[in-house]
Amino acid sequence: MLEIKNLNKTYDNGVKALNNVNLCIPKGMFGLLGPNGAGKSSLMRTIATLQDADSGSIIFDGVDILKNPIEIRRRLGYLPQSFGVYQGVPAYELLDHLAMLKGLINKKERKEVVDGLLAQTNLYQHRKNAVSGYSGGMRQRFGIAQALLGDPDLLIVDEPTGGLDPEERNRFHNLLVSLGEQRVIILSTHIVDDVSELCPQMAILAAGEVLRQGNPFELIDDLKGQIWRKTVSITEVESIEKELPVISKRLFAGQIIIHVLADSAPQGFETTPADLEDVYFSSLHQNKQQRIAS
Ligand SMILES: Nc1ncnc2c1ncn2[C@@H]1O[C@H](COP(=O)(O)OP(=O)(O)OP(=O)(O)O)[C@@H](O)[C@H]1O
Ligand SMILES: [Mg+2]
């Protein structure tokens, strides 16, 4: 269990990346959903002990991460949003090297671990090829293999699915699911489907603030009877947006389906069951309105 309390971070340039963040993250997969610049990577780097917070605490299984970074690093795996790899170094050699740095000094033991992780991430048959030549999906799977060295209790993966094609994304999702429920896994993403497919617990982050957190089903249930739908043409959208709280516009077969958040049906709209996209977009919409008003 990971508990984040009153966490704040302002960068030297004045950007407040984390604004009093409070989160309770149980074992299993936790989705951190937010748009570009929400503060996802800032939060993950802080949990991974790679940068300091200004104030607040992060407690993992009773240990304060910010005060005991060295102890936590041993139990932590981290896949950063982007990572460089040495040109031309085969996957096996690179993972073997990283395993050594992680403290696996026994050669036989290390081989077992490295072989095992390459098999688990479906890279064993590609182990002699350079990671720098891997496709995006293979690279991300290698990223998970290195993050799993030392069998961490806390695994942090920062936007791992961006840029993957549907097949590779699916493969990556299956890999994450296979990692089990016995550790805390935090996955950041701006893709709502990543969360709806994988995460029994989630939070929505925007402009450094936690807007919602909980179980996706419960968050969806909170919107029951408040989402209304209409299919319109492009020319109609602007005037509707002026009058109604439009939370999303989705293109379908060349037309636009708009979703509106309201307690009762606006003229010409029909009811539609809420989904996680509605939860996400309505949270962002409300947050934006609040910021405009203040
Ligand atoms: N090292 C830094 N110095 C100054 N500002 C930063 C730094 N890192 C991030 N920021 C700013 O902090 C805010 C949050 O950035 P962060 O990278 O944490 O967001 P994010 O949710 O990960 O976004 P993305 O989805 O684009 O990866 C942004 O406004 C960003 O420009
Ligand atoms: Mg990021």
How would residue 246 be classed by pLDDT, with cut points 50, 70 and 90? Answer: very high
Atom of ligand 1 nearest to the CA of 39: 18
> For residue 275, what are the contacts with CB-CB under 8 A and spacing of at least 6?
196, 220
Which tokens sit at 217?
A: 């089903």
Sign of CA dihedral 36, 216, 50, 19: positive
pTM here is 0.93
Distance separating alpha carbons of residues 20 and 56, to the nearest angstrom: 8
| pLDDT value at 82 more than 90 | no
Note the pLDDT of residue 83: 83
Distance separating alpha carbons of residues 173 and 155, to the nearest angstrom: 15
Nearest C-alpha neighbor of 273 from the set 219, 213, 206, 228 = 228
Ligand 2 center from residue 158 Cα (angstroms): 7
User: For the chain, how are helix, strand and coil distributed in percent, rounded to 5?
Assistant: 35, 30, 35
| pLDDT value at 162 more than 90 | no
Note the pLDDT of residue 164: 87
Distance separating alpha carbons of residues 201 and 185, to the nearest angstrom: 11
How would residue 239 be classed by pLDDT, with cut points 50, 70 and 90? Answer: very high
Q: Say if CB 141 and CB 105 are below 8 A apart.
A: no
Residue whose CA is at the smallest distance from ligand 1 atom 8: 42
Note the pLDDT of residue 85: 83
State the average pLDDT over residues 77-91.
90
Note the pLDDT of residue 294: 85
Note the pLDDT of residue 41: 97
State the average pLDDT over residues 202-222.
97
- Angle formed at CA 181 by CA 196 and CA 97, multiple of 5 degrees: 105
Distance separating alpha carbons of residues 52 and 7, to the nearest angstrom: 10
Query: Per-residue pLDDT tens for 274-289?
Result: 999 999 999 999 999 8
Sheet strands (E) in the chain: 2-10, 16-25, 28-33, 55-60, 63-64, 76-79, 154-158, 184-189, 201-206, 209-214, 227-232, 246-252, 255-261, 270-271
Mean pLDDT in the chain?
Answer: 94
Query: Per-residue pLDDT tens for 177-206?
Result: 988 788 999 999 999 999 999 999 999 999
Choice among 13-27, 143-157, 163-177, 184-198 with the minimum mean pLDDT:
163-177
Q: Which of 7, 40, 156 to mutate to test the pocket of ligand 1 (most atoms within 8 A of CB)?
A: 40
State the number of CA atoms in the 13 A half-sphere of 232 facing the CB.
21
Note the pLDDT of residue 232: 93
State the average pLDDT over residues 203-222.
97
Ligand 1 center from residue 208 Cα (angstroms): 9
Atom of ligand 1 nearest to the CA of 34: 21
Distance separating alpha carbons of residues 3 and 216, to the nearest angstrom: 19
Question: What residues line ligand 1, using a CB cutoff of 6 Å?
Answer: 11, 13, 15, 17, 34, 36-42, 81, 159, 190
Note the pLDDT of residue 254: 85
State the number of CA atoms in the 13 A half-sphere of 242 facing the CB.
4
Ligand number nearest CA of 80 is: 2
Ligand 2 center from residue 40 Cα (angstroms): 5
Ligand 1 center from residue 157 Cα (angstroms): 16
